[in-house]
Structure 1
Amino acid sequence: MSASSSRKITRILGAELDKLVTLPLVWRTLMGTFILNVVLAAAFTSAGPQGAAGTQSILNIGLASMGYLQAGFIILGILATCSEYTGGQIRTTLTTIPWRGFQLSMKLLALAIVTIPMAFIIAASGVLYAFMMIRDTAFVIEIDAMIKTLAGATGYLTLTTLLSAAIGALLRRTTPALVVLLGHYFIVSPLLRDFLPRIKNVFPDTAGYYMYMPPTSNEINILTPMKGTGIFMLWTLIFITVAIVFYRKRDA
């Protein structure tokens, strides 16, 4: 019984990985995100030594593009769960794999498997560019600090992708999911942080910020990286759970 379940899970995971890696929009999104990050890293790096940014660490400059970079991973997560609804392929999927809870769980696991290395590569590319260009003018960083920060940035982008995928599974349409998530990340959350500073850290993107970016000395109500990770993970797990419940109950 256990061996049969393991084979079932492995086959479903393999099928979801195959669908994901053969979806052209996934690689176009990742390539576009990588190019955007390099361009932004070049802009932030060139601006860094000219002013106060010249005294910042290489990590701060290299990861300054994260606020824009996350948009690519939001799109990636939405595409992973909404693409099958566009042409009605979801019916074929559910006919072939009727175990809906397993199917969506394996889709999200496959998405994480693809996202983690790509998130690390893209985040590290900005840091590497900054290091190559301004290593003589910025403070040199410790290797362990670099690893921890890049791990945090990778975790942040991965959780952003999974959260977006869960919301995409709930809404089942690409455009509404994009409007909701991009609207929250780039409009609603920044406004709420200004008007409700006391509760800003409960928002997933704000809590996730502390996963990779050390707080400045004048910040109040700051979170540790572990607390930020915990809050973001909680939001992600809640939305994944809700998405699976709805996915199992409603029609394709």
Structure 2
Amino acid sequence: MSAPSSKKITRILGAELDKLVTLPMTWLTLIGTFIVNLVLAAAFTSVGLQGVAGTQSMLNIGFASIGYLQAGFVMLGILATCSEYTGGQIRTTLTTMPWRGFQLSMKHLALAIITIPAALIIAASGVLYTYIKMRDTAVGFEIDTMIKALFGATGYLALTTLLCAAIGALLRRTTPALVVLLGYYFVVSPLVSDYLPGLKRYFPDTAGYYMYMPPSPDEINVFTPMQGTGISALWTLIFITIAIVFYCKRDA
């Protein structure tokens, strides 16, 4: 089958954006993640103000919630690619847009268009709350460092969403994808860090951590933000490529 023209590619992207924007779970997930992030930011800031966590920098406290709120972006990625399989809408999609590789690629691009500003707003809300509450007491605060870290956190959450969307496209079912990915991020990855710390830094979540959070002074063999970005992006591209290959070869 011949490749679609540029106009058709634009229409495919528009259709994928329209599907994501009109999917109620997209907004419920993002709103829920935003609220949870503010609650966590308030909790971590309160602990920091009480001195329970020691003299942590505002950067550490402001981004402490990222490890938890990434669950919302994991869900967003899974829903973006699995939702059409629930009611069989995928057959209609493939009938009207038979260029499977382009269609899945545009779905990921549409997801990135929605996720990047959402991730920036959500991550910034937690940092802003921490800044308002701790601007007179936090140590080690530099506005340039905070801005760089904020963009790093946004990039990490966006890459996580796209990676999970690719895995969702491979599994094609929401519940199994949620079990696998949430199990990895919150069970498998923490366990691996205890037994294989040298290997774990190459995992997408650990490499992504270095995109926004500077390592502690006693850490060794750490990645720079650029190295962390490269490794996380490589994982994402690999899984998107695998998802597209399987998507083009399997039945709906």
Q: Which TM-score band (shorter chain)?
A: over 0.9
**What does residue 128 of structure 1 align with?**
128
The SS at the match of 1:219 is coil
Match in the other structure for 1:56: 56
Matched, 1:204 2:221: no
**Aligned residue in 1 for 2:164:** 164
Deviation at residue 59 of structure 1 after TM alignment: 1.9
- 1:108 alignment counterpart: 108
- 2:153 corresponds to: 153
Give the TM-score normalised by structure 1: 0.97
Deviates more, 1:51-60 or 1:123-132: 51-60
Summarize deviations over 1:95-132 as a string: whole Å, max 9, x none.
Answer: 00000000000000000000000000000000000011
- 1:76 counterpart residue number: 76
Task: Note the C-alpha offset of 1:145.
Answer: 1.2
For residues 179-214 of structure 1, the C-alpha deviation after alignment (integer angstroms, 9 at most, x for no partner) is: 110010000011011101121111110111000000
Residues 150-192 of structure 1: CA deviation (Å, up to 9, x unaligned): 0100000000000000000000000110011001000001101
Residue matched to 1:225: 225
Specify every segment of 5 or more residues in structure 2 that has no aligned partner in the other structure, as ranges: none
Distance, in Å, in 1 between the alignment partners of 2:18 and 2:58 is 37
8 Å CA contact 1:42–1:129 kept in 2: the answer is yes
Q: Which runs of 5+ in 1 are unaligned?
A: none
Q: TM-score, normalised by structure 2?
A: 0.97
Amino acid at match of 1:242: I
Aligned residues: 249
Worse-matched range after superposition: 142-151 or 25-34: 142-151
Q: Distance in 2 between matches of 1:153 and 1:245?
A: 29
Deviation of the 1:141 alpha carbon: 2.6
Greater Cα shift, 214-223 or 112-121: 214-223
Q: Secondary structure at the match of 2:201?
A: helix
Tell me what 1:44 maps to: 44
- The amino acid of 2:202's aligned partner reads V
